């Protein structure tokens, strides 16, 4: 997933991409090159589907009550592993990269640069919670990761964007902003699939923020 899944409407039935032997394979190409390194959305969708099924299979034997929760946390873990690497890659690729020390800085970095690398577009909104001042929300009107996924009713607590939340959590952790990140579906008019990534910052960050002011 380090490469963006940018193909939006390609379906497997009409997928006619060619794999010419002339082009270097994706792992042999220069890491700094971002052009034409997009991954087919179908390929990603099938891989993600298998990951989810793998996670689900592994939770057998754990008590029924917990079962619903487990895939959720696992997905988060999967994302975390992607996120740590992704942060490294993006920072390395940026020409004039600097270290973000403020909350707003790192959040807008995620909102724009990270989203662009992953999905080829910015996130649709970045808001501060009105209820708690340690909470921020990043929303995506049409999340690419769950584009083809319908969660059955009996698993309604599960949100597959937990994977994305894991990525965000790893990036925040890696940039020294430890926090808890969760995914929620948050449908609004016209965007029934809209997802919100809720970021709850650690107390120490708020204290640090005070000192930096």
Partner 1 sequence: MIFSLYIINKAGGLIYQKNFSEGLKKLTANEYLVLAGTFHSVHAITSKISPVRNVTSSGLEVLEADTFKLYCYQTLTGTKFLIIADSNHPNIDLVLRRTYDVYSDFVMKNPFYTPEMPIRSELFDMNLAKLIKQVGG
Residue 106 CA neighbour count, 13 Å, CB half: 23
Instruction: Between 52 and 90, name the residue whose CB sits nearer to partner 1.
Output: 52
Residues paired with residue 201 on neighbouring β-strands, in sequence order: 179
Q: CA 118 to CA 124: how far, in whole Å? A: 14
Shortest Cβ distance from residue 135 to partner 1 (Å)? 29
Quote the tokens at residue 138: 């990043």
Cα angle 63, 186, 102 (rounded to 5 degrees) comes to 95
Distance CA 117, CA 110 (A): 10
Identify which range of 42-50, 76-84, 89-97, 171-179 contacts partner 1 by CB under 8 A: 42-50
Residues between 155 and 194 that touch partner 1 (CB under 8 A) = 155, 160
Binding to partner 1 by residue 78, rule CB under 8 A? no
**Nearer residue to partner 1 within complex by CB, 28 or 152:** 152
Binding mask 120-159 for partner 1 (x = CB under 8 A): ----------------------------xxxxx--x----
| 33 or 153: CB nearest partner 1 | 153
Question: 10 phi and psi, to 5 degrees?
Answer: -70, 125
Helices (H), 13-110: 41-57, 64-67, 69-93, 103-109
Q: Does 92 bind partner 1 (CB under 8 A)?
A: no
- Which parts of this chain interact with partner 1 (CB under 8 A)? 11-14, 42, 45-46, 48-50, 52-53, 56, 148-152, 155, 160
């Amino acid at each position: 997933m380090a490469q963006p899944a940018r193909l939006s409407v390609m379906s497997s039935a009409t997928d006619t991409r060619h794999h010419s032997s002339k082009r270097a394979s994706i792992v042999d190409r220069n890491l700094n090159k971002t052009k034409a390194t997009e991954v087919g959305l179908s390929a990603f969708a099938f891989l993600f589907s298998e990951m989810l099924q793998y996670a689900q299979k592994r939770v057998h034997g754990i008590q029924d009550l917990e079962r619903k929760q487990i895939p959720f946390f696992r997905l988060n873990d999967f994302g975390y592993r992607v996120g740590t690497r992704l942060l490294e890659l993006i920072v390395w690729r940026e020409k004039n990269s600097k270290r973000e020390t403020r909350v707003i800085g790192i959040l807008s970095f995620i909102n724009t640069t990270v989203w662009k690398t992953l999905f080829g577009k910015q996130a649709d909104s970045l808001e501060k919670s009105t209820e708690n001042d340690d909470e921020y929300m990043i929303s995506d009107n049409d999340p690419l990761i769950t584009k083809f996924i319908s969660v059955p009713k009996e698993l309604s607590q599960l949100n597959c964007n937990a994977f994305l939340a894991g990525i965000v959590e790893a990036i925040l952790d890696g940039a020294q902003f430890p926090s808890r990140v969760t995914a929620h579906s948050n449908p609004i008019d016209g965007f029934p699939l809209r997802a919100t990534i809720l970021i709850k910052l650690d107390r120490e960050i708020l204290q640090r923020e005070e000192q930096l002011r």
